[in-house]
Copies of this chain bind each other. A is one copy, B any other.
Amino acid sequence: MRKVGVIGIGCTKVGEHWATPLRDLFAEAALLALDDAGIDKIESIYVGNMLSAHTQKQEHLGALMADNIGMPGVQAIKVEAACGSGGIAVHEGFKAVASGLVDFVMVGGVEKMTDISTPEITTALMMAENREYSAFSGITFVGLNALCSRLYMETYEVKADEMMGFPVNDHINAVNNPNAQYPFKITVERAIESAMVADPIHLYECCGIGDGAAVAILCPLEKAKKINKPVIEVSASATATNVLNLYERDDLLDFAATRRAVNQAYSMANIDKKDVDVLEVHDAFSIVGVLSLEALGFAEKGVGARFAAEGEIAIDGDIPTNTMGGLKARGHPIGATGVYQIVELVTQLRGEAGKNQVKDAEIGLAQNIGGVDSTSIIHVLRRR
């Protein structure tokens, strides 16, 4: 199996891109990534996306994106795993390079959520769950996460203010990210005073609805070394699933897909969690950030919320997390998020993160999930 490197990254600002068609949003990120890599040809494209059938009545995104960036003819494939679609695009691109079948692969994610109304998006997001059971019951996606949050808070006697570690941290970090959707600070007080969306989840514990695209270029590590940039290796790419229906899970507070995938990833990259310098966590809701942190091994069960609230996930904390704003403040354009994480880790490992730079960052880990951790994708990147 060949080793794999990242040689180019690009992304759009997350926001409301009403005037930009889906394909052009992708192209914007794709051209930035090609330019960053200093190449103008690739052999294969993976596009991560969840909602385009619903939001744009568009499928076949592989061929569409290849054609639109002026590369009809190349391999082009859409992949989907709900909010984990972007991570899966990176994972499949990794396999393609590792297998030896192709050398230069574009892995991207794109989502345009603001083309349809918020109630419609709320319905569409439930396509991540088992339609004929969970969705037909009338519960929404935030509602499912609220069940987990309520159970967590009661089990571990966690107060509302202790749940605000992730949103407050993300908003601080987003201020210095020109591509962030919400680049402003919030306080714990403001978060607690924000509207209750699904008890006990407040508005400021939820990621927003936004449009965005992110792209990375992968190639064999040996070829990456010949490019005049810090060499970044994809040391591990792993994915796993969990029981889809929450009501069938043994333990609602165990993110088992993340736990499985990260164990594979640590083994594959031959590292321990202590080796990770910078972390990207899929905090679609604050509870998701907390349970992810625990499943990844950075906090013991029941301790994740306080760990985050006490500043241990800050850039100068124990494990710098979501240094560009995370899902809450950089934004969460569903199918693109997993690739934004890679773009941001590469920025850190190259030492190009400006005011948010984590000193001497050498190893980064990204966790991207689909559903309530029904799918999890873990990537470990390393400066070589």
CB neighbours of A240 from chain B (8 A): 73-75
Q: Contacts A56-B131, A98-B101 given; indicate if A63 touches B81 (C-beta within 8 A).
A: yes
* B81 A62 Cβ-Cβ under 8 A: yes
Q: Contacts A78-B79, A132-B21 given; indicate if A63 touches B244 (C-beta within 8 A).
A: yes
Which residues of A (344-384) have their CB < 8 Å from a CB of B? 370-371, 374-375
B-facing mask of A59-102, CB < 8 A → 1, else 0?
Answer: 11111101100001111111111100000100110011011110
CB neighbours of A1 from chain B (8 A): 99-101
- The closest CB in chain B to the CB of A248 belongs to B67
A114 close to B (CB within 8 Å): no
A122 close to B (CB within 8 Å): no
CB neighbours of A99 from chain B (8 A): 1, 95-96, 98-100
A139 close to B (CB within 8 Å): no
CB neighbours of A100 from chain B (8 A): 1, 98-99
- When chains A and B are docked, how far (Å) is the Cα of A72 from the Cα of B244? 8
CB neighbours of A260 from chain B (8 A): 73
CB neighbours of A132 from chain B (8 A): 21
- When chains A and B are docked, how far (Å) is the Cα of A120 from the Cα of B193? 45
Measuring CB to CB, which residues of chain A are less than 8 angstroms from any residue of chain B? 1, 21, 23, 50-51, 53-54, 56-64, 66-67, 72-82, 88, 91-92, 95-96, 98-101, 123-124, 126-132, 135, 239-245, 256-257, 260, 370-371, 374-375
